[in-house]
Amino acid sequence: MSQNDKVLEYMERHGSITQKEAYDAFGCFRLGARIAELKERGIVIDRMLEEGVNRVGEKTRYARYWLKKGA
pLDDT at 27: 96
Q: Does domain 3-67 have CATH number 1.10.10?
A: yes
- Distance in angstroms (rounded) separating the CA atoms of residues 12 and 60: 26
Cβ-Cβ contacts under 8 Å for 60 (sequence gap 6 or more):
51, 52, 53, 54
Q: Is residue 70 scored above 80 in pLDDT?
A: no
CA 37, 49, 10: angle at the middle one, nearest 5?
Answer: 45
pLDDT at 59: 97
pLDDT at 8: 98
Tens of pLDDT, residues 39-61: 999 999 999 999 999 999 999 99
pLDDT at 69: 79
For the chain, domain boundaries: 3-67
CA 45, 6, 35: angle at the middle one, nearest 5?
Answer: 30
Instruction: Fill in the amino acid letter for 68.
Output: K
